[in-house]
Amino acid sequence: EMVIQQPSPRTPGPNLNSVNVHTDDGNTQKMVRTSAPNSYSEDSPEKVLNPQGTTPVLSPEPTIPILVIACDRVTVKRSLDKLIQYRPSAELFPIIVSQDCGHSETARVIGSYGNQVTHIRQPDLSDIRVRPEHRKFQGYYKISRHYRWALNQVFNTFSQSTVVIVEDDLEVAPDFFEYFRALYPILRSDASLWCVSAWNDNGRDALVDSSRAKLLYRTDFFPGLGWMLLKELWEELEPKWPSAFWDDWMRQPEQRKDRSCIRPEISRTITFGRKGVSLGQFFDQYLRYIKLNTEFVPFTKQNQSYLLKEHYDETFVREVYSATLVKMEDLQKGGALRSPGPYRVQYSSRDSFKVFARNLGVMDDLKSGVPRTGYRGVVSFHHRGRRVFLAPPEGWTHYDVSWS
């Protein structure tokens, strides 16, 4: 029997309840929720409201389930093998594999893991009625339906308080679990954050500082690709969840509401799947070159409070706008620049952003006016061994949705 442990405030008496889940072999499996021993360090308590009042109390170590979204790729094995290999605890990181599509060979692969994972199946395999010009997007509609069902399972059926979502074509880094465990209290305590992502959209080898694996950032761009959200966010999004293209929907201002995510300098996930609904071209051009972190960073032993908005913004803005302003051509020539940086290249319009981004090798697309990895309009990356900020003029206030 698999145990899913759920953090709960310390209250008198046992706090046990269980949920029945139908598993593949037709048996009913009990998923037990119970409190876990407290092993948080004193300097990073997670504050939880006491049911009797409003005094914050130290919570036990949180359970962070990993939800694997699967369909018809038997290569989910590569994803699950790495998750299980690096998982420090099956109790603190239960793996739930949610399978859509009814693909029997993929189901067999998932089933081969026995009680190391919990296999659930999305029951509605019907086609979705879409307008004729969207027929080619049927796959995106099914993905959106599957996400909604799977997240409802995690938060409602299994009564979890957070989840990390990975898809069946993601391979995780050795410190993937450590990363999310360290950032969970930050996500909990900063209302201006709505997710933690393992992915750097500009995480290609040439664009990252491989000597700074512990470096993390805030970003206004929702990255996805291995990301953590809290139940409270799901309760906000679920009633209006879109029928397709859920990730771009999340990037719209109506959903994002000026909230940010945490993302790493070096990705803690890579995607190995060329087969999927979004065509292989994007994979070939960008995704296949993303660097996966290999050096284990003990994030839980480091202070991550620099990522809280109240500390981060002032430091970030100061660092960006005190960087030497240079022309893009000087960066490309390289020889003209003597100091190790950082340098700033200024863009003033959508078109100048795109030209500079393309020439410097970073992603040039914008979603709802936000550039990939952008924070306050700034894209931070490495270029020929120097830190570069592609930045709007000083005094930035908001994104322009028409820049898309």
Residue whose C-alpha is closest to residue 301's, from 175, 165, 193: 175
CA dihedral 191, 40, 43, 52 (to 10 degrees): 60
In sequence order, what DSSP letters do the residues of 208-230 get, joined into one string? S-TT-TT-EEEESS---SSEEEE
Burial (CB < 10 A; 0-12, 13-18, 19+), residue 201, is buried
Element spanning 33, H or E: strand 28-33
List all residues 6 or more positions away from 242 whose beta carbon is below 8 Å from its beta carbon. 144, 249
Q: 128: which DSSP letter? A: P
Distance CA 233, CA 6 (A): 18
Residues 6+ apart with CB under 8 A from 138: 127, 128, 130
Q: Which residues are catalytic?
A: 247
Please name the residue that has the structure tokens 């309009």: 377
User: What are residue 52's phi and psi, to 5 degrees?
Assistant: -80, -20
CB-count burial class (<10 Å; 0-12, 13-18, 19+) for 294: exposed
Amino acid at 245: F
Strands 343-346 and 324-325, by their bridges, are parallel
SS3 387: strand
Collapsing DSSP to helix, strand or coil, 68 comes out as: strand
- Per the listing, tokens 């945490």 go with 262
Nearest CA to 262 among 190, 166, 342?
A: 190
- Report the C-alpha gap between 239 and 224 in whole angstroms: 20
- How many whole angstroms separate alpha carbon 259 and alpha carbon 192? 5
Longest dimension (CA), the chain: 70
